[in-house]
């Protein structure tokens, strides 16, 4: 591991993504990426009594799924990094309590998949683990009740609001020397998949430009994404054009435009190769999701069912994955506080 510039780590051993996958809900199945989910639950209760338990079940399902895809058991994994947006991260702790793998709870709001993937990669890179898992989730119904209104209330949504993804994604990071048990099954139909590896990590700093509108998370998070991307580009002395894709977490339409504007003002032009998980997961016109998708499950599922597989297939070689998170709570918003935010960057290369 090598420190580069002020904020970036170079992972010289290139830990790789051995297995990945995601589960989703009904709306996610109906969306443009529906067919790529490993499993979707049309009954979004997942047979549970409460929405919190439903979300927990998403994490249980996603973590089991990647173990199966990698032909691995719990004993093959030394650490699991997990988090979510529910109070006290209960979908992670309840969803993974039977996994029996040393557990490190992560909190980065919707950026959690970036943080968890970064931590798993650093643990593997440093030799602390042969394999580590990153898993996160969100559920529209548990999020609405906790952050906005109970579903029964039928609240109107603002045009800038985003739609919390019902889904969970999981990925297993392994050392290059660790013999893969069943690589080919991870990418069905791909005969010679490339290894998706983690090359660099830039951990974000908290930013707060004073945005207070809890119905416009994209605007609150865009400055954090801009800062982390600028930090990384400066540290590595590269430009956006050196990458096939810059994929932010869940800025949605409003936040994506703002991100491009903020970077443009600093002479960084990402428009052409920028996309956002929150824009990919739904058909914004047909699915009435307003500004796009959000939630920890957004970046997690889009990366695990679209980004990583497409890199394995050779469609992208060099990608910056930048999940973003709004670090507020309903309490802080009710108290009139602004919304601090963060974005973590993971540079992925297909080898």
Which residues would be at the binding site for its own copies (CB under 8 A)?
1-3, 7, 9, 49-50, 52-53, 78-79, 83, 85-90, 92-94, 96-97, 99-109, 115, 119, 122-123, 125-129, 146, 202-208, 327-332, 335, 337, 340, 342
**Shortest spacing between CB 99 and its own copies, in angstroms:** 8
Q: With CA atoms as reference, report the closest residue to 167 among 39, 332, 349, 327.
A: 39
Name the residue among 245, 195, 205 with its Cα closest to residue 18: 195
- Considering beta carbons, is residue 78 or 275 the nearer one to its own copies? 78
Count Cβ neighbours within 10 Å for each residue of 4-23 and write b for 16 or more, e otherwise. Answer: eeebbbbbebbbbbbbbbbb
Least CB distance to its own copies at residue 128 (A): 5
State the Cα–Cα distance between residues 315 and 309, nearest whole angstrom: 9
CB of 115 to its own copies, least distance (A): 6
3-state secondary structure of 276: strand
Pairing state between β 16-24 and 167-174: antiparallel
Q: What is the β-pairing status of strands 196-202 and 324-326?
A: unpaired
Q: Are 226 and 191 in contact (CB under 8 A)?
A: no
Q: How far is the CB of 46 from its own copies (least distance, A)?
A: 15
CA dist 85 and 70 (Å) reads 27
Contact 42, 95 (CB under 8 A): no
Structure tokens at 250: 């869940």
| CA–CA separation, 109 and 128 (whole Å) | 25
CB of 191 to its own copies, least distance (A): 35
Q: Which residues, listed in sequence order, are joined to residue 174 by a DSSP beta bridge? A: 16, 131
Least distance (Å) from its own copies to the CB of residue 142? 9
- Cβ proximity to its own copies: between 102 and 159 the closer is 102
Name the H helices within 166-216: 183-186
Phi, psi of 4 (to 5 degrees): -120, 130
Q: Can you tell me the distance from the alpha carbon of 53 to that of 306, in angstroms, rounded to the nearest whole number?
A: 26
Token reading at 159: 């045009």
The residue among 290 and 344 lying less far from its own copies, judged by its C-beta, is 344
CB of 336 to its own copies, least distance (A): 9
Min dist CB 307 to its own copies, Å, is 22
In the complex with its own copies, which residue's Cβ is closer, 165 or 326? 326
């Amino acid at each position: 591991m090598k420190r580069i510039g002020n904020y970036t780590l170079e992972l010289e051993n290139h830990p790789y993504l051995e297995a990945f996958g995601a589960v989703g809900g009904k709306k996610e199945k109906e969306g443009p990426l529906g067919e790529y989910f490993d499993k979707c639950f049309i009954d979004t209760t997942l047979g549970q009594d409460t929405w919190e338990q439903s979300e927990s079940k998403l994490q249980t399902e996603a973590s089991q799924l990647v173990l199966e895809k990698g032909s691995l058991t719990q004993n093959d994994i030394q650490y699991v990094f997990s988090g979510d947006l529910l109070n006290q991260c209960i979908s992670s702790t309840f969803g993974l309590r039977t996994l029996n793998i040393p557990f490190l709870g992560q909190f980065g709001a919707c950026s959690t998949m970036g943080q968890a993937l970064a931590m798993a990669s650093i643990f593997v890179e440093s030799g602390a683990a042969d394999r580590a898992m990153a898993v996160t989730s969100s559920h529209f119904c548990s999020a609405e009740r906790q952050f906005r209104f109970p579903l029964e209330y039928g609240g109107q949504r603002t045009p800038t609001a985003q739609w919390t993804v019902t889904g969970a994604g999981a990925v297993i990071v392994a050392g290059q020397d660790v013999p893969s048990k069943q690589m080919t099954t991870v990418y069905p139909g791909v005969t010679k998949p490339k290894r998706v590896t983690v090359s660099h990590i830039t951990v974000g700093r908290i930013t707060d430009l004073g945005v207070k509108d809890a119905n416009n998370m994209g605007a609150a998070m865009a400055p954090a994404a801009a800062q982390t991307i600028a930090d990384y580009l400066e540290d590595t002395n590269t430009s956006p054009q050196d990458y096939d894709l810059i994929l932010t977490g869940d800025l949605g339409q409003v936040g994506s435009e703002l991100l491009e504007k903020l970077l443009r003002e600093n002479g960084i032009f990402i428009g052409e190769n920028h996309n956002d998980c929150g824009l990919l997961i739904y058909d914004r016109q047909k699915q009435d999701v307003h500004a796009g998708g959000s939630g920890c499950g957004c970046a997690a599922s889009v990366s695990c069912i679209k980004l990583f597989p497409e890199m394995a297939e050779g469609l992208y070689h060099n990608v910056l994955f930048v999940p973003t998170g709004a670090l507020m709570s309903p309490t802080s918003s009710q108290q009139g506080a602004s919304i601090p935010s963060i974005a973590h960057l993971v540079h992925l290369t297909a080898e």
